[in-house]
Amino acid sequence: MQQIIQDFFETYHIPQSAGFIIAVSGGADSITLLHLFKYLNLNIIALHCNFGLRGKESNMDEQFVKRFCDLYGIPLSVRKFQTTLYAEEKGISIEMAARELRYEWFREMKNKKKMDYIVTAHHADDLAETIFINLCRGTGLKGLTGIKPVNGDLLRPLLSCSRTEILTYIEQQQLGFRTDSTNSSLKFVRNKIRHKIIPVCKEINPAFLNIIRENCETLKETEEIYTYGIEKLKKEVCEYKNGETLIHIQKTLETPAPYTLLYEILKPAGFNKTQIRDILNSSRSTPGKKFMSGMFTLTKERNYWRLSDSGPVPFTSFEIEQEGDYEINGILYRFELISSSAGFQIPADPAIACLDADKAPFPLRIRSWEKGDRFCPLGMKKLQKKLSDFFTDLKFSTKQKKECLLLTSANQIAWVIGYRIDDRFKTNPFTQRILKIYPLL
């Protein structure tokens, strides 16, 4: 197994003198990864996330990782997260919330500790499971390439190892590990694939994991050829004038795959597959037909489809000077001061904000978001995030980005209205007054 790590470094030109952040859950795969990196005497720091999702079991995982790192003299940092609250505030799944939280923290620690890489213990079984998940949800070429061994500063050196090989290494080295009890629950899609589909595939072909890995390598190169071809065709059919894109209709129709090319051109502008089919079908129609997508308008002309910016939605910022009802983006919101009490429950609805009133005194201001805006999403404490990255995480359409408004206090974002409050304005056990902001339905 040590040779697998060394071969990985050689293949991807990773210097062994670099600094490595090792993500350690306490499971067999991450313990194997940590043990291998320690055995090779590399410069490592272990990070463990306690998501608090399994009560005592989560705390026992944390204690196990602490004992393991103490035994081997490995520096360790642990962070506990309010994962469920984060997921509710953001309107995403627990799995996605945990992923966002851990990678935000990993990058924070990488910068803080001046390390070079983040290393995770994804292995060949994970690769196969991910491809099946992508297939079930619908995917293009990119989704079929699976998990990349190297993605920027993120390394996955165990992708060539199966779960069986990892467990064999654990047994040979007499290493303990923790088992996540939720891994056996079939209510999760990944577990259904892991326990129901993958075993059948291995039964059909014992070399199934190797086949998957080889196919991924082939498809990665296929994707590169595809991207190269699309970019070349874009140059042939598109002209750029005065901030507009002119897509030559006849040249597009003469390409080997007109729909696919048009999809790659228009998807970044927010057009969906149905719209793009309709646009393609409009090629013989009378000029003047328009298609709308958030901030963009596509107009069918005689020889071109003209893609232009629809322009911003006008919005004038205004102040909230006191309690009362105010119209925001066509919705009537009530700003109400209430006394904090032991029985008060903060609603999980992201359309409702509960702020510490002493941290967000009147007057408050409502304004549109601006390039460069940053805030500290609830659950991430003092870690700031670009608002543009926050929109990307939520997969905002262009229209959603354009219409998003902010509630600010002393020029700090207190609430991305309808989506997430800033961690600095949240209530705590010492909060005496709560500013509750909610829509009047």
pLDDT digits (tens, 9 = 90+) for 313-368: 556 678 898 888 888 877 889 999 988 876 678 888 888 999 999 999 989 999 98
Task: Tell whether the torsion through CA atoms of 322, 325, 326 and 329 is positive or negative.
Answer: positive
Beta pairing class for 374-375 and 385-386? antiparallel
Q: Flag the least confident range among 28-42, 214-228, 314-328, 384-398.
A: 314-328
> Could you tell me which of 382, 376, 378 has the C-alpha nearest to residue 412?
376
Q: What is the mean pLDDT of the chain?
A: 89
Collapsing DSSP states into helix, strand and coil, what is residue 248?
strand
Q: Burial level of 421, CB count in 10 A (0-12/13-18/19+)?
A: buried
C-alpha 330/C-alpha 323 separation (Å) is 19
Helix H or strand E encompassing 80: strand 76-80
Q: Can you list the pairs that 314-318 forms with residues at least 24 positions away whose Cβ atoms lie under 8 Å? A: 315/367, 315/368, 315/405, 317/365, 317/366, 317/367, 317/368, 318/365, 318/366
Q: What would the two tokens of residue 159 be?
A: 């992708």
CATH number of 2-218: 3.40.50.620
Q: What is the pLDDT of residues 229-243, one digit of tens each?
A: 999 999 999 999 877
> Could you tell me which of 20, 9, 6, 10 has the C-alpha nearest to residue 117?
20
C-alpha 22/C-alpha 48 separation (Å) is 9
State the average pLDDT over residues 45-59. Answer: 91
Query: Packing angle between helix 273-281 and helix 258-266, nearest 10 degrees?
Result: 120
In what order do the strands lie in the sheet containing 238-241? Answer: 238-241, 244-248, 304-309, 296-300, 290-293
> Could you tell me which of 366, 365, 377, 362 has the C-alpha nearest to residue 435?
362
**Percent of the chain whose pLDDT exceeds 70:** 97
The residue ranges of every structural domain in the chain are 2-218, 242-309, 318-439
Collapsing DSSP states into helix, strand and coil, what is residue 398?
helix
- Its pTM stands at 0.64
Whether pLDDT at 312 is above 60: no
More confidently predicted of 410 and 247: 247
Q: What is the pLDDT of residue 46?
A: 96
C-alpha 70/C-alpha 165 separation (Å) is 26
State the average pLDDT over residues 133-157. Answer: 88
